[in-house]
Structure 1
Amino acid sequence: MPPRGDTRGGPRGFGGPARGGRGGATRGGPPAHVTTSSHITTVGVKRPEFGTAGRPLPIFVNSFVTTIPEGIIHHYDGMSILSSIVTCIDLLFTTISPVVISPSEKTLPARLNMDLIKELQSSVAPQIFTPPVVYDGRKNIFAARELPFGDAITKEFDVSLGGIRPDTGGRGPKVYKIRLTKVAEINPEVLRRFIAGDQSHDNTVLTAITALNVVIRMEPTMKYPFNVRSFFTNRETKDIGSGLQLWRGYFQSVRPASGRMLINIDISTGTMYKAGPLLNLCLDFFGKADPASLEPRKGFPDRERLRLQRFISGIRVLTTHPGPDGTVQQTPRVVKKLSSAGANALTFTMREGGTMSVAEYFQRTQNRKLQFPFVICVEVGSGALIPLELCTVPPGQIMRKQVPPEKTKDVLDFATKKPRDRLQSIKDGLAVLAYGQSEYVRQFGMHVNSTGPLQVQARVLNPPVLRYGAGSKQPTIKPSNGSWNMVDKRFFRPAEITGWVVIVYEQQRRFGENNAQSMIAGLTASLQDVGIRLPQNYTPLVKWENGQGRIEDQLRAAGGEVNARYGKPPNLVVVILPEGGNDIYTAVKHFGDITMGVATQCMKAQKCKSAKPQYYANVSLKINVKLGGINTVPDPSSVSVLTDPHNPTIVMGADVIHPAPGSDGRPSFTALVANVDSDTAKYIACSRVQTSRQEMIEDLEEMSKHVLSKYVGYRQHIEKKAPGAAAPKRIIFYRDGVSEGQFKQVLEKELPLLKKACDDLNINAKITIIVVGKRHHVRFFPQNERDGDRSGNCQAGTVVDRDVSHPTEFDFYLQSHGGLLGTSRPAHYSILYDENNFTADALQSLSFALCHVYARSTRSVSIPAPVYYADIVCSRAKNHYDPQGTLNFSDSATQVEGSQADNSLDAFRRGFKPLHPKQALLMYFS
């Protein structure tokens, strides 16, 4: 498990004893076969026991056992790397201004830092740095011996890279001052105690794990492009156009487990800028070949220039210059922005007076006549303007911006590998990682078992029995490898369509009357097959509309026509979309969810033209729950935890999504989803807007009160429970999107808000908090083909809570879905708080069952349905804004800074509109 950001404290009680008469912080002492010492403190719940349910199955996991170093590790703070001589002169500047850049003013790139430390060890002070130290690229340096600084704990070094630079007027290269300060000694014994369950996860453990990660990553990061925990090689690449190339990479992370230290290894994908002339990259971005397309005089639009600028800003380029000795030298520069005029139209004032264009400058000073003088220039970090044709993009530069949506499929195709092929790639990666040949790994005394991946004992859980409605030939069904079908089955509670209308936004010549009637017939047949009631002798109104018009007015007018014809407005609006109709979709959802409170169902015209009954059956799943129906429920015998009449249970799912990197001024969105029925199949949702990139949910108290009130009201008024029996006695809170370093914040900030909501409503419920993690690299692989499913993955229900799990805390990995493409990812469940005293088997079977009640499919999904719904609700938050408004959600929106960003966030808060009251008890998000 990756290191946590906080020292573990004492028991987890907040505000006195837990409700229900028992302290929910530490769960008492674990059974004898879980060897956690009683004095150990944890952030999450101590493991109560291991699970036993299910069929045993040996599998492979992509982890490799490593030894723990024997000797003391010496920790140095190397963050004080600063440039002592920085010359601001550049091609078009006429003055020299030496300045000192401090770390607080400028953070140097990690790659530059690595190069400086390499130069320091090999050339500047090899007598001090033999054997070599390891460095994380930022501030941490670890040494296998104490560095000979004499009596001092701090030592400074001057380091420079390269020789005389032509752009410094012959003054020589930049000199960087590196100050190292010894901060600690790490005894690896703390790791041995930690994995044995005899040591709390404090800062010493955190730092020791960090040190081992830096050790194993040092060799590849010195050789290859790297990104935090992955590095990438050009052994396997794919050109995907738009100036981008994909490289295969390898992820590695040291993780403590029960009784051993492991290195988790996986393959990863890096998106790189295409190497070569910068001009070619810019042309490739637009899919063009003629440089004239980048000439402002020939109509190169400003909006396209800004789109290209967003793409290449921050990229490192090389420019060539004649050296004083006649040789050609290269200088690295960072692109800041693009000029609005061509090189021959951009002029600057000379130091001696007069003006000169950029094109003339290069002709006169370097005898370089530009081949494309009308093409725009780049402005680099120092302010210099350089023609595109004189810049070269070096290979191996990671593109750290969001991948363009149209390239997502290419990335997925490259990243997707069948389990057997993925495992083989991981094994092959061991040769690239070459732990045995790494002088760093050897110096620290680590030995990695590279003979093969770890073999662990998994269990395959029994799936829940699902119950369908009256009239089904098969009222209950047991899924097979996470899959089942709707043949001869009716929904558990079918909804009723009292009136509907069809609005087509595809051109009538492409989707005509015959297409519309065929779609209506197919959809009607599927709706009737599953039990949804439709009005007798009712012909839905069909209208063709222009997607460039005001969508809301068009929908409102169509509803008015239906009302005039049949005497009542429709309760379902079916919309047929053209390709690329995302803006229309957003406007339709805003109309249905926010403005009018009516169910809407969008379908693509192209899908409908060739649709088979299965397509409309899947659409029926969504329509039924949007209208208040229930598709299926888990049989009470399968999930006694949820259906115990003496302990009514509400299951919540919570999530936060953040804006894309670089999208300053845009907010984060939060969502809370919860069931309101006794069968945990009917869910409601609420969402909010909050401070950008803040992970903890600000409005959790208000949101919790909303869903708790709806739960109580539904059970009283719909299920006719007595007032005293309507409130929940158990709350199971699944939290998505939280990193392991933020677990403590969930307990300190979100748990009190949830408890406060209960107190305000006089609800005395015991709370269990479970974090569901998806962003990890643990993968399961069947040892034999016969043990896998048709995709080669482990079967749905494969659970592991030994061998790769946390040494002391209650967690498990569960692969709850059947495989389709590539290698399935199990979800990682960490139990942070548990007043309900659940067993491992109870929480594992409960979580597996909740993966089967996702209303939109007849397959189990990878995470519990309420968590999945919360993720969807977050993503749909833009539907809460007026589609005709000025707030921009597109990836091409201009970015803002500082106070502008604050004002923009305020605008997003003001513009966020609440859900229509009619949708409050409906699964509008399905």
Structure 2
Amino acid sequence: MPPRARGSTSRGNTQPARGAPARGGGPARGGRGGTAIALGGAAGQPGLPVTHVAAVGIKRTAFGRAGKPLRILTNHFPVTEPSGTVRHYDEISPSNKILPVPFNRKIIKAMQDGHPEMFKPQGSYDGRKNLYTMHDLPFGNDDQGNPVLSRIFEVYLPDDAPRGKEQKPKRPFRVKLTRVALINLEPLVRFLEGKKTYDPDMQTGINALDIAIHMAPSLLYPTNGRSFFTSQETRNIGGGMELWRGYFQSIRPAIGRMLVNVDISTGMMFKPGRLFDLCIDHLGLKPGDYAALSPARGMPDSKRLQLRHFLMGVRVQVEVDTSGRPIGDARPISGLSLAGASQEMFEMRSEQGGQMISVAEYYRRYKNRTLQFPQVLCVRLGRALIPMELCYVPPGQVMKRQMPQDKANDVVQFATMKPPERLASIRRGLTILNYGQSQYIASFGLQVSEAPVQMTARQLAPPRMRYAPGSREPMITPKGGAWNMVDKKFWNPATIKYWAVVIFERPNRFREDNAASTVRGLIEAATACGMVVHDKNPLVDYANGQGNIHQQLLQIGIKIKQAKNELPNLIVCVMPDQSADLYSAIKHFGDITTGVATQCLKSSKCFRANQQYFANVCLKINGKLGGVDRVPDPQSVPALTDPANPAIVMGADTMHPAPGATGRPSYASLVASVDSHACRYIAQSRVQVSRQEMIADLKDMCKHSLDMYMKSPYRSAEERARKKAPARLIFYRDGVSESQLQQVLDNELTQIQEACKELGIDPKITLFVVGKRHHTRLFPEDPRDADRSGNCPAGTVVDNVITHPVESDFYLLSHGGLLGTSRPAHYNPVYDSNNFTADDIQALTFALCHNYARATRSVSIPAPVYYADIVCARAKHHYAPDAHLNYTETMTQSSDQAAATLRSFTDLFKPLHTQTSRTMYFL
């Protein structure tokens, strides 16, 4: 639906007139976003913010109305209205030691238990620096009669207390509490009602409430962020790891009230038990073969280093007596010995003679323990060397590292739950959370309902899709978020002129008849889709996946040049299943070096491939060669296809190195449409400072994209005749958190506007932030409304009840479910000078989820966002295979080493080949 001017309405939505200030931005951004929009009175529509309230993004002026009503349940649970004043205490340790969060919690719990007259009820603690109470802690008065706001406590943990006259206690932990703020919760309540502008104190109040609901389970269960895990449901996945089922919880502001979001989560844990068994399991050795952990018995140093990397930080308890039980606090492993306990020597203290002694001999002589496996490695706990056979791994240690690639399927299978099962598990989780029995929640005067929020969502109508006129069904309407390619021809089919099939498998594994079947299947599928295949007998050749990939592919191109007097425009590569390095080398050859389109196929897929498989491959090949599979019907998406207001659509994303990696850069990507249907895209990627979220070179990237759009031959003649420059710029930004919305407006929106200004154009800009990493789930209340997977149907949109009290965010479940419970995408429209209505924005976003060229189904996020994510991930192919860069995800380096490594990544980053840069090479 085209935007309306003020005075006309679209389904009840009132919008500012053309030329009025853009929605979003607010006066805080120097007037860039204009003034707040009136709703026709303070009441406006129930649930909408009043006139004077400002917003970071676009303030909600109306709710969407399009679509069929649909009753749903959500995994949000109402909380009673908070009230009173929160006391914020800052907790510091005078020794400035950084202790693990669980240990900090033990200290604070012991402090509060030891002073019941002062901490009644007990305060809520975040594990680091902040403690919140609803009453002043009675620290007494100073000489002038003023209340004291700070006090130092000396805290002994229960295990540290003296147990006899001769036994001295350990030194106490010193904790200093200082009251630093008073937070009145009344403004937060007014914010929930849409009657007050957000301010930072409200976030502190929300943080206090959030910590209160986490406090009780954090003392009982292992935690990771806002999730905690129980051993009720576990799965051993090998490699020294197991999975635990857990629960995520977070308190969030919503329209008129606070809600607790509860969801299922999965924790990867180190396998508990004897450290021996953990190591054997991780290395894939025979159970009980402990001698294999001995360098003297042939353990290679590479395995020792692998084990050291895996064990770093794992906390172990040590068996210090003959009872066979570990006692005392667990301590983290900081390294491994170079030799076994019988060979690893150390110097005794001077009072013990100062002689050199082996670890095994020390334990025999001074601990009365003869080691059963003296040749096995020792672990280092601080400065002490402890024989591995005496160490035990306590249960519930969360593995806070990147998930190993070979365990991804195990995690997915364990985490996948059908919607009814997930909702039932969430409800069971409430009994574990036991909100009603938590003294910390009660101290804030909160009550959490056990009934999930019920509400009315809407199911949007899908856009119609057009195929070529020669198709049996040239116009289709997706059903359940999917359709098929049967009897359909591509809207703009590409031509495969000269091509080759290169097989990186052994001939006895992938025989000539398999190759012939693959060629035949590709030709038949391409022809059925309307593509033109000139060469029905392409060159088929075998290559060595361990050899020089560039030279082998180059020689194949030369063979075709000599035979056909023209270079190929496509090389199809058949590869083994595990071939990441080979894939990277092939993509570098095509995308960076030569500009020849490449398509990789797994040999295992080709063995049993049917026509549907090859048709799906052709979806990618057609786009890579400049074709377009299908386009949306213009009447379905007028915001995209109005010739009087031509639109360019952009998607941007950033990708960061894994946790713990230093020196690795971050990558930024931008994709932009260059046709009249927002179906044909170009892409760019850049290197930038590690973990920097804002895109540093966005202005230059936008200028290039806009220039390519204005020069593009793929725009309609009518559109080009009316207006060369885009009238609308629709920008989807992925990968930023809700707390970074202001940064996007201040930094990235400014760069977009500067790019337009430098090109002398002035498109109306609409900027969205897309969120995928959230825990909101939607469940159909009536099973008859569910799709075949049990999920809400594709097109389910929610912009009420569980959304932001002031801003116009919404959740959209744009895809049909396949496995488990589908996750809707969360959209924050943060700037809009196009003055789109709520229904316009939601319909536009839903339509773009149908433009993903690699599939005949709608996807979970708009196609340009999906493409930007892929382009980021492919940035590592911009390096020559022989560049010898360190891609280890968890390497650690000094700051100087990290800076040098970053410079290497930046200097060696190669731009796309000119030919590739004009195509959708990333499909």
Give the TM bin, normalised by the shorter chain: over 0.9
Q: What are the equivalent positions in structure 2 for 1:309-708 lying under 5 Å apart?
A: 309-322=308-321, 329-352=327-350, 353-380=354-381, 382-450=382-450, 452-535=451-534, 538-708=536-706
**What is the match of residue 144 of structure 2?**
none
Which one-letter code corresponds to 1:200 in the other structure?
T
**What is the match of residue 246 of structure 2?**
249
Which one-letter code corresponds to 2:364 in the other structure?
Q
Q: Is the 8 A contact 2:814 2:858 kept in 1?
A: yes
Which one-letter code corresponds to 1:191 in the other structure?
L
SS in structure 2 opposite 1:726?
coil
**What is the match of residue 69 of structure 1?**
82
Question: Structure 1 residue 193 and structure 2 residue 190: aligned?
Answer: yes
Distance 1:877 1:469, change over 3 A: same
TM-fit CA distance, 1:191: 2.1
Distance 1:566 1:350, change over 3 A: same
Question: Structure 1 residue 806 and structure 2 residue 821: aligned?
Answer: no
Question: Structure 1 residue 915 and structure 2 residue 912: aligned?
Answer: yes
Q: Give distance in 1, aligned partners of 2:487 and 2:365.
A: 83
1:597-617 Cα shifts (integer Å, max 9, x gaps):
010000011110110111001
Q: Give distance in 2, aligned partners of 1:334 and 1:283.
A: 19
Which of 770, 782, 786 is matched with 1:772 structurally? 770
1:805-844 Cα shifts (integer Å, max 9, x gaps):
1000011000000000000000000011111111100000
SS in structure 1 opposite 2:361?
helix
Which one-letter code corresponds to 1:154 in the other structure?
S
Which one-letter code corresponds to 1:630 in the other structure?
V
Which one-letter code corresponds to 1:278 in the other structure?
L
Q: Is the 8 A contact 1:14 1:752 kept in 2?
A: no
Q: Give distance in 1, aligned partners of 2:324 and 2:805.
A: 63
TM-fit CA distance, 1:172: 2.9
Q: Give distance in 1, aligned partners of 2:662 and 2:335.
A: 18
Which one-letter code corresponds to 2:26 in the other structure?
P
**What is the match of residue 879 of structure 2?**
881
SS in structure 2 opposite 1:341?
strand
Question: Structure 1 residue 271 and structure 2 residue 229: aligned?
Answer: no
1:781-819 Cα shifts (integer Å, max 9, x gaps):
001111000000000000000000100001100000000
TM-fit CA distance, 1:329: 4.5
Q: Give distance in 2, aligned partners of 1:607 and 1:40.
A: 57
Moved more, 325-334 or 289-298: 325-334
Relative to the length of structure 2, the TM-score reads 0.93
Q: Give distance in 2, aligned partners of 1:27 and 1:298.
A: 77
Q: Give distance in 1, aligned partners of 2:508 and 2:327.
A: 62
Which of 149, 156, 160 is matched with 1:160 structurally? 156
TM-fit CA distance, 1:718: 8.1
TM-fit CA distance, 1:894: 4.0
Distance 1:555 1:699, change over 3 A: same
**What is the match of residue 220 of structure 1?**
217
Distance 1:593 1:820, change over 3 A: same
Q: What are the equivalent positions in structure 2 for 1:21-40 lying under 5 Å apart?
A: 23-24=33-34, 26-27=36-37, 29=39, 32-33=44-45, 35-40=48-53
Question: Structure 1 residue 11 and structure 2 residue 26: aligned?
Answer: yes
Tell me which stretches of 4 or more aligned residues in structure 1 moved more than 6 Å. Answer: 325-328
1:504-558 Cα shifts (integer Å, max 9, x gaps):
001110001000000000110000000111115x411111111110000000000
TM-fit CA distance, 1:722: 4.5
Q: What are the equivalent positions in structure 2 for 1:748-767 lying under 5 Å apart?
A: 748-767=746-765
Q: Is the 8 A contact 1:715 1:726 kept in 2?
A: no
SS in structure 2 opposite 1:917?
coil
Q: Give distance in 2, aligned partners of 1:839 and 1:329.
A: 64
Which one-letter code corresponds to 1:461 in the other structure?
L
Q: Give distance in 1, aligned partners of 2:614 and 2:283.
A: 38
Q: Give distance in 1, aligned partners of 2:161 and 2:150.
A: 30
TM-fit CA distance, 1:327: 11
Q: Is the 8 A contact 1:30 1:48 kept in 2?
A: no
Q: Give distance in 2, aligned partners of 1:385 and 1:275.
A: 21
1:424-443 Cα shifts (integer Å, max 9, x gaps):
00011110011111122222
Q: Give distance in 2, aligned partners of 1:717 and 1:613.
A: 33
Q: Give distance in 2, aligned partners of 1:349 and 1:172.
A: 28
1:641-664 Cα shifts (integer Å, max 9, x gaps):
001111111111000011111111
Relative to the length of structure 1, the TM-score reads 0.93
TM-fit CA distance, 1:213: 0.6
Q: Is the 8 A contact 1:27 1:45 kept in 2?
A: no
TM-fit CA distance, 1:345: 1.3
Which one-letter code corresponds to 1:263 in the other structure?
V
Question: Structure 1 residue 142 and structure 2 residue 132: aligned?
Answer: yes
TM-fit CA distance, 1:723: 7.4
Task: Give RMSD over aligned pairs.
Answer: 2.0
Q: Give distance in 2, aligned partners of 1:655 and 1:209.
A: 29
Q: Give distance in 1, aligned partners of 2:443 and 2:620.
A: 59
1:204-223 Cα shifts (integer Å, max 9, x gaps):
21011111111111110111
Q: Give distance in 1, aligned partners of 2:398 and 2:431.
A: 23
TM-fit CA distance, 1:14: 4.9
Which one-letter code corresponds to 2:587 in the other structure?
K
Q: Give distance in 1, aligned partners of 2:441 and 2:515.
A: 67
SS in structure 1 opposite 2:525?
helix
SS in structure 2 opposite 1:872?
helix
TM-fit CA distance, 1:448: 1.1
Distance 1:457 1:30, change over 3 A: farther
Which one-letter code corresponds to 2:366 in the other structure?
T
Q: Is the 8 A contact 1:735 1:769 kept in 2?
A: yes
Distance 1:305 1:136, change over 3 A: same
SS in structure 2 opposite 1:650?
strand
Which one-letter code corresponds to 2:507 in the other structure?
Q
Q: Give distance in 1, aligned partners of 2:27 and 2:527.
A: 53
TM-fit CA distance, 1:310: 1.7
Q: Is the 8 A contact 1:253 1:263 kept in 2?
A: yes
Which one-letter code corresponds to 1:239 in the other structure?
N
**What is the match of residue 828 of structure 1?**
826
1:475-510 Cα shifts (integer Å, max 9, x gaps):
110000100001110000000111000110011100
TM-fit CA distance, 1:13: 6.9
Which one-letter code corresponds to 1:542 in the other structure?
V
SS in structure 2 opposite 1:920?
helix
Alignment coverage as a number of residue pairs: 883
Q: Give distance in 2, aligned partners of 1:911 and 1:829.
A: 36
Q: What are the equivalent positions in structure 2 for 1:823-862 lying under 5 Å apart?
A: 823-862=821-860
Q: Give distance in 1, aligned partners of 2:326 and 2:676.
A: 77
SS in structure 1 opposite 2:800?
coil
Question: Structure 1 residue 179 and structure 2 residue 176: aligned?
Answer: yes
**What is the match of residue 226 of structure 2?**
229
Unaligned residue ranges in structure 1 (runs of 5+): 1-8, 18-22, 83-100
Q: What are the equivalent positions in structure 2 for 1:777-796 lying under 5 Å apart?
A: 777-796=775-794
SS in structure 2 opposite 1:493?
coil
TM-fit CA distance, 1:719: 5.1
Unaligned residue ranges in structure 2 (runs of 5+): 1-23, 141-146
Distance 1:27 1:544, change over 3 A: farther
1:446-473 Cα shifts (integer Å, max 9, x gaps):
11111x2110110000000000113111
TM-fit CA distance, 1:163: 2.5
Distance 1:130 1:709, change over 3 A: same
1:672-718 Cα shifts (integer Å, max 9, x gaps):
01100011100110001111111000110111111111111105888
Question: Structure 1 residue 925 and structure 2 residue 916: aligned?
Answer: no
Which one-letter code corresponds to 1:895 in the other structure?
T
**What is the match of residue 107 of structure 2?**
116
Distance 1:386 1:638, change over 3 A: same
TM-fit CA distance, 1:301: 2.1
SS in structure 1 opposite 2:706?
helix
Q: Give distance in 2, aligned partners of 1:218 and 1:316.
A: 23
Q: Is the 8 A contact 1:573 1:598 kept in 2?
A: yes
